[in-house]
Amino acid sequence: MNTQAKATSRERLLEAAATLTYQDGVGIGVDALCKAAGVSKRSMYQLFESKDELLAASLEERASAFAARLLPAADDDRSPRERILHVFEQVEAQAGAPEFRGCHYLAVQIELKDESHPASRVARRVKGNLTAFFRAEAERGRAGDPGLLSRQLILVFDGASARAGIKADDLTGLIAPTVTTLLDSAGVR
């Protein structure tokens, strides 16, 4: 019974960390996290070594859902070009939601500025996986320089999600032509 209560407290803390850091940033205090989760600070520190570990665990737990929302299924039979464009279609669709604040993983890296922070390491790995997806598709699509194209695509992804996240730009009609130009230039058909 005690294990079940701790699992529930853990889940509530992970959810609170995900929600509050996405809305308010990683500077959110332990008191606010615990209050939102309905968990005492003592319980939090029994479950997580530190707030930093809680943030990292929260990002890690949501990494699969992040990828699932963006990436086409592995058995999707579309061309590499269409698979890459699919990611940007998802970003455009998500960016239209009023609660969209950009890419959570990018925001964590920017806010923390410390590459050794546990949450930064998780965020860097998740973003690295997205870059690796772009590179793999660029290779399959016979891009002239798959490494360069994957870096360009992640730059567009991060820039687009950041600008939409701060409501500085509407991605509608902007992101697909930009990515298409990169794909055309790289020879991906």
Check whether 160 has a pLDDT greater than 50.
yes
Q: What digits encode the pLDDT tens for the residues 71-115?
A: 999 999 999 999 999 999 999 999 989 999 999 999 999 999 899
Contact in structure between 123 and 60 (CB atoms under 8 Å): no
Closest CA to 17 of 108, 114, 97: 108
> In angstroms, rounded to a whole number, what is the distance separating the alpha carbons of residues 53 and 68?
24
57 and 44 in a common domain: no
CATH of residue 58's domain is 1.10.357.10
Q: How much of the chain, in percent, has pLDDT values that exceed 90?
A: 92
For residue 108, count CB atoms less than 10 angstroms from its CB and return exposed for 0-12, middle for 13-18, buried for 19 or more.
buried
Query: Total structural domains in the chain?
Result: 2
Sign of CA dihedral 141, 146, 152, 155: positive
43 and 64 in a common domain: no
Check whether 6 has a pLDDT greater than 90.
no
> In angstroms, rounded to a whole number, what is the distance separating the alpha carbons of residues 39 and 56?
18
164 and 75 in a common domain: yes
Range of the domain at 27: 1-48
* Alpha helix stretches (DSSP H) within 103-166: 104-112, 118-140, 146-165
- Please state the pTM of the whole predicted model: 0.90
Query: What's the CA dihedral at 165, 166, 167, 172 to 10 degrees?
Result: -40
